[in-house]
Amino acid sequence: MNNAHQVTVKEQENICDNTKDVTHIFQVNFFAMCLLNTFPWDHEMLEAEPLDILYEALGDVMISQEGDTCYKTYLLPTGDAFSLAENVALISDGTTGLVTWEAALYLAEWALDNANVFKNKTVLELGSGVGLTGIVVCRSSSPTKYIFSDCHQTVLQRLRGNVANCLTDCHSNSVSVCVEQVDWQNVSDEQLQRIQANTIIAADVVYDPDIISCLVRLLARLLNCNFQESHPDVYIASTVRNPETYDCFKTELEKAGLRHDIITDFVTQVFPYNRVSTIEVIKIHV
């Protein structure tokens, strides 16, 4: 009788734990405005009836008309949270830079696991988009200065708004932040010298064969600059959607005399997104 009672209590504890886990996952997905099919709808595992009010709310969300802009809230392991203005459409105003892509989330998670890479450094991010990766780095890794950059005017406007909203003095740990327009093809030596970054990062910038050559030329300039005492550290995160395009990028790196190492460290998943696609972080050096 005692054993049966103990089993029953254990089962109840497991159900309670599962409920807490699923509730937390649901909450994180909801605030991050994830696709509905990624939510933990399998209520049967909880051995409990779903709330009618939850289904009613779901119905309201599904039939509501989407606007052009939404606000996505991201939760950090510390419990800290911030919201970014992003576009609903993946491509709008002729750019893909108004939404957060998987490699940006992955690179942000890698930064959380490797805060020492950015501590007390001047960081330049190429193709910052709406700013997710940089905001995470500034809030968790204590860089001295962080330069967000992009070239599309609409993206820059959105980026400036997100940086201003998410990196106030009380949250940025006195990090000096700025947003700059950096045209990979036409950036001047004077601008690069003024920036003088000793850590350079980028996420999801290897997707179009037409821009690979100018990206590699810029990386070569940054790594071979003669106005710094040492070569900067360069990290590029990419979602490998088209292997031929990604192989082309690595081939162009070799032609430019640049080597790369694939970072194989385990990366703790913090944000809700699909990791089915291959996402790779490489360190580029001379």
pLDDT tens per residue across span 81-118? 999 999 988 888 888 899 999 999 999 999 999 999 99
24 or 224, higher pLDDT: 224
pLDDT for the residue 173 = 59
199 falls in which pLDDT band (50, 70, 90)? Answer: very high
Q: What is the distance between the alpha carbons of residues 140 and 78, in angstroms, rounded to a whole number?
A: 9
Q: What is the distance between the alpha carbons of residues 109 and 267, in angstroms, rounded to a whole number?
A: 7
pLDDT for the residue 44 = 41
pLDDT for the residue 225 = 83
Choose among 240, 5, 234: nearest CA to 248.
240
pLDDT for the residue 284 = 98
pLDDT for the residue 49 = 53
Secondary structure in 3-state letters for the chain: CHHHHHHHHHHHHHHHHHHHHHHHHHHHHHHCCCCHHHCCCCHHHHCCCCCHHHHHHHHHHHHCCCCCEEEEEEECCCCCEEEEEEECCCCECCECCCCCCHHHHHHHHHHHHCHHHCCCCEEEEECCCCCHHHHHHHHHCCCCEEEEEECCHHHHHHHHHHHHHHCCCCCCCCCEEEEEECCCCCCCHHHHHHHCCCEEEEECCCCCHHHHHHHHHHHHHHHCCCCCCCCCEEEEEEECCCHHHHHHHHHHHHHCCCEEEEECCCCCCCCCCCCCCCEEEEEEEC
pLDDT for the residue 40 = 54
Mean of the per-residue pLDDT values of the chain: 84
CA atoms within 13 A on the CB side of 152: 16
pLDDT tens digits, 40-55? 544 444 445 555 666 5
pLDDT tens digits, 250-272? 999 999 999 999 999 999 999 99
63 falls in which pLDDT band (50, 70, 90)? Answer: very low
How much of the chain exceeds pLDDT 70, in percent? 74
Q: Is pLDDT of 2 > 90?
A: no
Q: Is pLDDT of 16 > 90?
A: no
116 or 63, higher pLDDT: 116
pLDDT for the residue 64 = 44
Q: What is the mean pLDDT of residues 20-28?
A: 56
pLDDT tens digits, 201-260? 999 999 999 999 999 999 999 999 876 778 999 999 999 999 999 999 999 999 999 999
Q: Is pLDDT of 72 > 60?
A: yes
Partners of 43 in the β-ladder: none
Judge whether 118 and 136 are in contact, CB under 8 Å: no
pLDDT for the residue 3 = 43
